[in-house]
């Protein structure tokens, strides 16, 4: 077992240098190319980012009737600032985090506010009025010292409500504490001296009793970090799991007895880290297996691996385990990770994404006793979908309905852009689905299922999500009734401003 103290020292010291090397590369060709193409391609406004932080609260125009029981705030996060001082990030995942808050009152009024996450990197760049071109997929000559991963942490993937605060989450570093009302940044989350600097990833899992699980990966030390924070506890329990070769796991699942971490064969190559960005220090091996790391919740060091054919995954739904020890959960399978290498770089240059494989909804079946696994497609392979959401009351328990983004069957401009045009509800047993398709110039972001406090079924509630009109330059907050046979748009709030395309969010209800 790796020494935890050594790992912490590595995470706060030399990790940054090996993960994010600083090399000479054109610093402004991405900026020049993007702005050359922007005037003639309105869809590029989705990736333009904000130029100046707006800290005011704005009232939204409301259509339809918001249910009196739906009171609270939808928080969302994503890459928000893409450029500064004539320089632009080379990869979409490198944009500085922008957290948005959509507040819904008991009278149906909707307001919006947003703030950039004031990370160490953000403050460093502000002081120089110049973007540090170093990150997940960006590499350039830059004076920013590589003092650890949090020197490059942009806090731009998701959010987690905790202890009356909001945490802005990234992939490879610390969570950032934010005021849940004003969205001001209050520094890094440090749960203990021992855990400071360890990676806390963007998709933690919270059990119905409030127990929080998460993971992180330390590539150059070939190790996984497993976090457990019990309700009311101030310090986490941490396990260090050696793992070689290391990959880039983005998400994981939790059952009543196990943690499952799928590890695609996108392997970290230490020799490549010397001359490449972090993502380019990895190599895809389609001839190797997708490894499912199955860990006991009592002791994650008690684990085993089940192999499946190679595939790339970003996100999974919710896992549940039956009395025979068989675990089931859904994921979205890609042929390879080219989306990260090609599409998310092309859009930053103002170019169309290269051809990429559409993600297919599949269900995993993992037998923990026989130690075997299988994967089965749930929908027609012509239907692409992503960003799964369940009724959170079903966490670690059997669920039947998934909410997700999708492409409908007809050709559309959004599909050409590698984006989704619909929100869908899918029954995981029958594969029946219902779909709502947005106008061709309106791009939906992740949609969430919000349960009705007066109901207990997975159809007792609403679907809440944002959409971006890149032609009229507006952002909408949309509310649907979650019926079994249809998705009915019942209310919409409109912000007369186009926000950047984002990633993940959470809804926090108010009694």
Could you give all domains of the chain from N- to C-terminal order, each with its CATH number? 4-509 (2.130.10.10)
- Give dist(CA 25, CA 307) in Å, integer: 39
Q: How far apart are the first and last CA of the chain?
A: 46
The lowest-confidence range among 73-82, 139-148, 344-353 is: 139-148
pLDDT-derived band of residue 413, with 50, 70 and 90 as boundaries? low
Sign of the four-CA dihedral 131, 135, 139, 140: positive
Q: What is the dihedral of CA 313, 319, 321, 327, to 10 degrees?
A: -10
Q: Are residues 378 and 361 in contact, defined by beta-carbon separation less than 8 angstroms? A: yes
pLDDT of residue 7: 54
pLDDT of residue 304: 98
Average pLDDT over residues 170-195: 94
For residue 495, what are the CA distances in angstroms to 88, 201, 467, 476? 26, 31, 11, 6
Query: Using only C-alpha atoms, what is the Rg of the chain?
Result: 22
Element spanning 186, H or E = strand 185-188
Q: Which of 142, 181, 145, 143 is nearest to 161 (CA)?
A: 181
Average pLDDT over residues 97-116: 97
How many C-alpha atoms does 430 have within 13 Å on its Cβ side? Answer: 8
User: What's the pTM value of the predicted model, to 2 decimals?
Assistant: 0.94
Q: Which of 120, 136, 99, 98 is nearest to 174 (CA)?
A: 120
pLDDT of residue 142: 55
pLDDT of residue 149: 73
The token duo for 42 is 């309105």
Average pLDDT over residues 175-179: 98
Sign of the four-CA dihedral 27, 29, 33, 35: positive
pLDDT of residue 17: 38
Average pLDDT, the chain: 90
For 194-233, how does the pLDDT look when each residue is reduced to its tens digit (9 = 90+)? 888 899 999 999 999 999 999 999 998 999 999 999 998 8
For 298-346, how does the pLDDT look when each residue is reduced to its tens digit (9 = 90+)? 999 999 999 999 999 999 999 999 999 999 999 999 999 999 999 999 9
Average pLDDT over residues 427-447: 93
CA 397 to chain centroid, in Å, comes to 22
The token duo for 407 is 């492409």
pLDDT of residue 91: 96
The lowest-confidence range among 14-23, 416-425, 491-500 is: 14-23
Share of the chain above pLDDT 90, in %: 76
Residue, of 232 and 188, whose pLDDT is higher = 188
Residue 1 has pLDDT above 70, yes or no: no
pLDDT of residue 18: 40
pLDDT-derived band of residue 15, with 50, 70 and 90 as boundaries? very low
Contacts 24+ apart (CB under 8 A), 349-357: 349/29, 349/30, 349/33, 349/34, 349/37, 349/90, 350/33, 350/34, 350/35, 350/36, 350/37, 350/38, 350/41, 350/44, 351/33, 351/37, 352/416, 352/417, 353/417, 353/418, 356/418
For 478-504, how does the pLDDT look when each residue is reduced to its tens digit (9 = 90+)? 999 988 888 999 999 999 999 999 999
Average pLDDT over residues 95-111: 97
For 452-487, how does the pLDDT look when each residue is reduced to its tens digit (9 = 90+)? 988 889 989 999 999 999 999 999 999 999 888 889
Average pLDDT over residues 396-403: 96
Write b or e for each residue in 231-254: b if 16 or more Cβ atoms lie within 10 A of its Cβ, otherwise e: eeeeebebbbbebebbbbbbbbbb
Residue 143 has pLDDT above 50, yes or no: no
- Give dist(CA 198, CA 467) in Å, integer: 34
pLDDT of residue 475: 98
463, with CB counted inside 10 A (0-12, 13-18, 19+), is buried
Average pLDDT over residues 169-191: 95
């Amino acid at each position: 077992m790796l020494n935890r103290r050594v790992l912490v020292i590595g995470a706060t010291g030399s990790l940054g240098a090996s993960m994010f090397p600083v090399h000479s590369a054109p610093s402004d060709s991405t900026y020049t190319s993007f702005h050359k193409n922007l005037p003639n391609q309105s869809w590029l406004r989705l990736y333009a980012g904000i130029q100046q932080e707006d800290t005011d609260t704005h009232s939204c125009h409301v259509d339809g009737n918001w249910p009196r029981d739906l009171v609270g705030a939808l928080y969302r996060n994503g890459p928000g600032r893409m450029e500064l001082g004539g320089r632009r990030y080379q990869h979409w995942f490198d944009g500085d985090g922008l957290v948005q808050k959509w507040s819904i009152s008991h009278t149906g009024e909707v307001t919006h506010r947003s703030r950039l996450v004031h990370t160490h990197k953000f403050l460093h760049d502000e002081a120089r009025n110049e973007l540090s071109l170093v990150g997940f997929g960006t590499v350039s000559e830059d004076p920013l010292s590589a003092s650890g991963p949090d020197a490059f942490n942009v806090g731009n993937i998701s959010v987690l409500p905790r202890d009356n605060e909001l945490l802005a989450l990234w992939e490879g570093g610390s969570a950032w504490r934010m005021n849940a009302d004003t969205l001001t940044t209050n520094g890094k989350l440090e749960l203990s001296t021992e855990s400071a600097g360890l990676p806390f990833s963007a998709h933690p899992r919270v059990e119905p009793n409030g127990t929080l699980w998460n993971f992180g990966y330390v590539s150059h030390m070939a190790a996984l970090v497993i976090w457990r924070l019990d309700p009311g506890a101030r310090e986490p329990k941490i396990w260090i799991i050696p793992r070689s070769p290391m990959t880039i796991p983005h998400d994981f699942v939790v059952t009543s007895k196990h943690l499952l971490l799928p590890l695609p064969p996108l392997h970290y190559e230490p020799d490549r880290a010397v001359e490449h960005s972090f993502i380019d220090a990895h190599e895809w091996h389609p001839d190797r297996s997708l490894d499912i790391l199955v860990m006991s919740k009592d002791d994650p060091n008690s684990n085993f691996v089940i192999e499946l054919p190679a595939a790339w995954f970003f996100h999974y739904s919710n896992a549940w385990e039956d009395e025979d020890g068989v675990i089931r959960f859904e994921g979205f399978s890609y042929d390879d990770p080219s989306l990260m290498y090609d599409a998310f770089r092309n859009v930053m240059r103002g170019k169309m994404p290269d051809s990429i494989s559409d993600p297919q909804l599949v269900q995993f079946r993992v037998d923990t006793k026989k130690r075997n696994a299988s994967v089965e497609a749930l929908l027609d392979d012509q239907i692409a979908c992503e960003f799964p959401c369940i009724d959170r009351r079903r966490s670690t328990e059997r669920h039947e309905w998934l909410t997700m983004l999708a492409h409908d069957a007809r050709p559309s401009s959004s599909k050409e852009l590698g984006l989704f045009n619909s929100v869908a509800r899918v029954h995981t047993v029958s594969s029946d689905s219902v779909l709502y398709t947005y106008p061709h110039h309106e791009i939906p972001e992740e949609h969430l299922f919000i349960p009705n406090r007066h109901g207990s079924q997975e159809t007792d509630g609403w679907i809440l999500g944002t959409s971006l009109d890149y032609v009229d330059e507006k952002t909408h907050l949309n509310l649907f009734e979650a019926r079994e046979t249809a998705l009915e748009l019942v209310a919409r709030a409109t912000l007369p401003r186009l926000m950047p395309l984002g990633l993940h969010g959470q809804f926090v209800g108010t009694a």
